[in-house]
Amino acid sequence: MATLTLIGGPTLLIEINGFRLLTDPTFDPPGLYQKAPVHFEKLTGPALSIDDIGRLDAVLLSHDQHLDNLDRTGRTLLPKVPVTYTTSVGAERLKGNAMGLAPFQTHVLERPDGGRLFVTATPARHGPVGIEPISGDVIGFLIGTDEPGDTLYVSGDTVWYEGTRDVARRYSPRIVVPFAGSAEPRGSFHMTMNSNDVLEVAAAFPSAAILPIHNEGWVHFKETASDLQNSFAALSIAHRLTTFMRGVPVVLEF
C-alpha cells in the first residue's frame, strides 16, 4: 500500500512501507519571484506546511536550480532530512546531506529496524533536444519495495523522450507520477509533459496507475488537470488517470 498526498506543484508526500519521502520541496506563499529572463510567479501556497508534514526519511529532488522545484522555504527543509537524493551537480551545489545519483544508479535507503527501499535515479530531459545548457541536469526517481523500480516512478521535470521510454523498457512500476502541465516559461516549446506526453506514459506503462502532478500553482503551466482528464476521456482511458486534490491523501493498494 502507498499513500500519496499532493502538497502543491511538484511537492508530493509519499508514504510507503513505513518510509516517508517528499519530492521537490516548495513551501513558499504565492507571489512573484521574477519577470525575466524567465517569468516565475507562484499562484497558490502549499496545502500543508513543513511542520504539518513532520518526519521525513528522504527528499527526492529532481533538480535544485529552478524555483518551482526548490524554493526558498523548501531549502530550509533539506538540512533537517537524513538524505536528499538529487543530480550529481546538484549535490555538489547543495552539499550537506545531498547525495548525487546518475541515471539508473540505485541506492538502498535503510531504517534502523531493517526496513529498506530501493531508490533509483532515472533520466530526464527538461524540454526539447538541445535544452540542457539552459535547463541544466534533471533526474526522476523509481522507488522499489521488493526490488528496484517495482513500485513507483516519479518522472521529475521532463518531456517524453528516449530516456523516459528507456525507463519503461527496464521497469514496470505499479504507480507512475508524471510531471505534467506543459510548462512554457520561455516561449513556444514545453519543458514538462503535455497531454500527448502523458498519454505516451500511460501506453508505455500499461499496468500502472497514472497520477500526474506539477500542473497547477504556477503561471507558466499551459495545461490544467482538466485538460488532461479530457484527453484521457477522449481516448476512453479515463479509468487509468487519478487526479489529486491538494492536501487530500490518495491510498493505492497493490
pLDDT in tens, 12-50: 999 999 999 999 999 999 998 887 777 888 999 999 999
> Do 121 and 139 form a contact (C-beta atoms < 8 A)?
yes
In this structure, is residue 143 part of a structural domain?
yes
Give residue 186's pLDDT band: very low, low, confident or very high (50, 70, 90). Answer: low
Predicted pLDDT at 29? 96
CATH number at residue 45: 3.60.15.10
75 within a domain of the structure (yes/no): yes
**For residue 69, which of 56, 57, 78 has the smallest C-alpha distance?**
78
Q: Is residue 106 part of a domain?
A: yes
The percent of residues in the chain predicted with pLDDT above 90, rounded, is 81
Question: What's the rounded mean pLDDT across residues 136-162?
Answer: 97
Residue 250 lies in a domain: no
Burial class (CB in 10 A: 0-12, 13-18, 19+), 1: exposed
Which pLDDT does position 187 carry in this prediction? 64
Q: Is residue 251 part of a domain?
A: no
Tell me whether residue 253 is in a domain. Answer: no
Number of compact structural domains in the chain: 1
Question: How do residues 223-253 score in pLDDT, each as one tens digit?
Answer: 899 999 999 999 999 999 999 999 999 999 8
User: What single-letter DSSP state applies at residue 225?
Assistant: H
Q: How confident is the model at residue 206 (pLDDT cuts 50, 70, 90)?
A: very high
d(CA 98, CA 194): 30
Whether 254 is covered by a domain: the verdict is no
Identify any residues that bridge with 86 across adjacent strands, giving them in sequence order. 100
Say yes or no to pLDDT of 98 above 90.
yes
Residue 252 located in a structural domain:
no
